[in-house]
Structure 1
Amino acid sequence: MEKNIIWHRPTITKLDRYKKNGYRSSVLWFTGLSGSGKSTLANAVDYELFQRGINSYVLDGDNIRHGLNSDLGFSKEDRNENIRRIGEVAKLFVDSGQIVATAFISPFLQDRELVRKMFPAGEFIEIYLHCPIDICENRDPKGLYKKARKGEIPEFTGISSPYEVPGKPEVVISTNKLTIEQSVMKIISYLEERKIL
């Protein structure tokens, strides 16, 4: 870190924003295999929060790679950096008083733990979307599994690169068993129980 760079304290604190908004900001970190429903569910939760008058936003893996992370590939090192950057961006959203949902495979435990440590206790909510790989592969909304099986996509999570299942996620959603509506309400209930909403 450059020693001539000094952190500037904001005039308005996160606590000020909590009091004004009437809810606590946090990051909802959706993780799971490709096709498990991360983007769909993150956007459905975002819609529900919007309907309740809560400031929220979705950071989507593919969308972020069109801009901020367009310089990164899919090597382990680039995936690490992809998640680190997203953690930093999510932190800015949380500091601004919003609930931010992130929809990223984020396959490695170490990367997710690194991001968790960026936040005070209770602000990082890991939501693991459990879905058997055969169902994800049957869904294959982007046709990625087919390409991976043909060897056209190297280091594809679940096929030629590992996915490390979370040890103690705050919320587990079995997207092959619950409807989107049921999944949304499970997450909303968690937020209410923790006095975030």
Structure 2
Amino acid sequence: MAVTTKRMAKNSVSLDALLRDIRSCTLCAANLPHAPRPVLAASARARILIVGQAPGARVHASGVPWSDASGARLRTWLGVDDTTFYDDSKFAIVPVAFCYPGRGASGDLPPRPECASRWHRELLAHMPSVELTLLIGQYAQRFGLGDAFGPTSTDTLVRWAEFGAHVMPLPHPSPRNIAWFKRNAWFEDAVLPTLRERVVAVLAGRAL
């Protein structure tokens, strides 16, 4: 993925058909501890693109993106309510991997690679209205920033302003990251006000 490639060639497959194909995808079935359940939201009218890592266990169970404690914190960061967040004409939610990868020794396993290579380029080509892309967590940042990703996610996050007005890397809002939030008060002080300003502007149709 290149976060600057939102304008692409005209597509031969409709977005509705593409989403049906994605939601019935079984590419990584042999590598999952459960049946595949791709979770995402997209619309050709979406103004803000949220690229997360992969659904967690609660999202896998509900089938609703960010329907967990991480999602509650994310919506607080954005300054939006549930109704706005789940309006796919406003927010597209496209994680690096669409299915819950299962648990590892110290948390969820990394996102499976199959989704990105098979689906993302075609899917993003159907979303020409996106003005702001949010890259949440290190896997999304590696995926979206490529060589611009720093040695660590924190190294990347402290350079958040370098990526321009249309792309923002964010830490994962998981409760597991509470210690990071406490060590990095600059994020709440400097980044969140700018994030909310950009969200308000984009949803109002103003240029960044």
| TM-score normalised by length of structure 2 | 0.33
| TM-score normalised by length of structure 1 | 0.34
The higher radius of gyration belongs to 1
Name the structure where strand makes up a greater proportion of residues. 1
